[in-house]
Amino acid sequence: MTAETLSISGLAKPASRIALGTWAIGGSMWGGPDDENAARTIDKALDLGINVIDTAPVYGFGHSEDVIGRVLEGKRDRVILATKVGLNWQDGKVFRDSRPARIAQEVEDSLRRLRTDHIDLYQVHWPDPKTPIEETARALEKLVKAGKVRALGVSNFSPEQMNEFAQFAPLATIQPPYNLFERDIEKDVLPYAVKNNLAVLAYGPLCRGLLSGRMTAERQFEGDDLRRTDPKFQQPRFGQYLKAVEDLKAIANKHNKSMLALAIRWVLDKGPTIALWGARKPEQISGIDDAFGWKLDEADLKAIDAILAQDITSPVGPEFMAPPARS
């Protein structure tokens, strides 16, 4: 893999600009776990030069972390291990909970499942409107001082919330949704990150597979697949997004690249970004090399914007994924 790396404040080694996202490895909302393929996927990611693995306790209610911990035994020093904190669950229902007591419990649970004595990057998964940000940040700063955590990040926070957090603990990263179809962070979060030297871990760069270039209108989503409730995958919007993908392939073809490589390259060209490439099977991270060693020019970017404006008449964001506050 052609090396493209990004420094993250507080971490000793540079991060690969593609990270392995492991929500699907947890199984929940992705059709159930497949641990054998998950292990092969993690090993393949390491072989391809990916050194960032991003997970969360809520991915399979601990299952993703547990699988990663088992696979990384003997390989832990090769990886920047990123996980999250601040979501709780009861009877399978997820809600936001960033109280200091919850943080103290979660970090120990994550360390145990991940089979490690420290977490490289610990991120607040969603802002908790019922817990003051100061309390959350101070609790996390204690973990840094205790050596259990190396660097802190937040996910799905606004610039105002990040400003408040940074008053009480050093902030190294922000993890927002970001892809060709979901670009709200360009208004405020991305400029804030550039101004404040934060690395942006962009989740969903392939927009739940929509930008892989492999999806068709006949595709059915079954069981607990989250795309059953994603407005992008409901007609008539689904057809609009698929049409955009077909038209975007012309730009990918111009560079002799796949649609998937185009989607990742677009994210990487947008700033201090790391693309979280989600996968649960090793073949799903094939083609990573194609995302490196080239750039989109100004004409490409204008053509992309024109296609999106023409094909997608009723765009929608990723708001459907937001978990509720605790009751």
Quick check: 93 pLDDT over 60?
Answer: yes
Residue with the larger pLDDT of the pair 5 and 25: 5
Q: Which of 25-34, 61-70, 241-250 has the lowest mean pLDDT?
A: 25-34
- Asked whether 159 and 140 are in contact (CB, 8 A), the reply is no
Of residues 188, 182, 179, the one with CA closest to residue 270: 179
Task: Give the mean pLDDT of 1-27.
Answer: 88
The DSSP symbol for 316 reads -
Q: What does the alpha-carbon distance between residue 184 and residue 32 come to, in Å, rounded to a whole number?
A: 31
- Asked whether 56 and 296 are in contact (CB, 8 A), the reply is no
Of residues 68, 69, 70, 105, the one with CA closest to residue 85: 105
- Asked whether 91 and 54 are in contact (CB, 8 A), the reply is no
Confidence band of 71 (pLDDT split at 50, 70, 90): very high
Cis peptide before 100 (omega within 30 of 0): no
- Average confidence score pLDDT of the chain: 94
Q: Write the CATH number of the domain with boundaries 5-209+264-295.
A: 3.20.20.100
Q: What is the pLDDT of residue 2?
A: 52
Choice among 59, 122, 178, 192 that is catalytic: 59
**266 is written with which tokens?**
């677009």
- Asked whether 149 and 8 are in contact (CB, 8 A), the reply is no
Q: What does the alpha-carbon distance between residue 15 and residue 274 come to, in Å, rounded to a whole number?
A: 8
Quick check: 58 pLDDT over 60?
Answer: yes
Q: What does the alpha-carbon distance between residue 56 and residue 69 come to, in Å, rounded to a whole number?
A: 12
Question: Averaging pLDDT over each range in 173-177, 211-215, 288-292, 313-317, which range is the top one?
Answer: 173-177
Residue with the larger pLDDT of the pair 3 and 117: 117
| 3-state secondary structure at position 21 | strand
- Degrees (nearest 5) of the Cα angle 318, 323, 327? 155
Q: What is the pLDDT of residue 26?
A: 75
Quick check: 31 pLDDT over 80?
Answer: no
pLDDT tens digits along 100-130? 999 999 999 999 999 999 999 999 999 999 9
| 3-state secondary structure at position 34 | coil
Q: Which of 86-90, 156-160, 227-231, 265-269 has the lowest mean pLDDT?
A: 227-231
Q: What does the alpha-carbon distance between residue 117 and residue 99 come to, in Å, rounded to a whole number?
A: 22
State phi, psi for 13 to the nearest 5 degrees.
Answer: -115, 150
Q: How many residues does the chain have?
A: 327
The pLDDT > 70 percentage for the chain reads 97
Q: What is the pLDDT of residue 24?
A: 83
Task: Give the mean pLDDT of 79-107.
Answer: 96
Dihedral in degrees, nearest 10, Cα atoms 38, 242, 268, 297: 150
Whole-model pTM: value is 0.95
- Asked whether 244 and 232 are in contact (CB, 8 A), the reply is no
DSSP 60-112: TTTHHHHHHHHHTTTTGGG-EEEEEE-EEEETTEEEE---HHHHHHHHHHHHH
Q: What is the pLDDT of residue 32?
A: 64
Confidence band of 29 (pLDDT split at 50, 70, 90): low
Residue with the larger pLDDT of the pair 319 and 107: 107
Which element (helix H / strand E) includes 155?
Answer: strand 149-155
Quick check: 1 pLDDT over 80?
Answer: no
pLDDT tens digits along 139-172? 999 999 999 999 999 999 999 999 999 999 999 9
Confidence band of 217 (pLDDT split at 50, 70, 90): confident
Q: What does the alpha-carbon distance between residue 301 and residue 305 come to, in Å, rounded to a whole number?
A: 6
Is residue 59 annotated as a catalytic residue, yes or no?
A: yes
How would you classify the pairing of strands 87-90 and 93-96? antiparallel
**3 is written with which tokens?**
């090396």
Confidence band of 221 (pLDDT split at 50, 70, 90): confident
Q: What is the pLDDT of residue 306?
A: 98
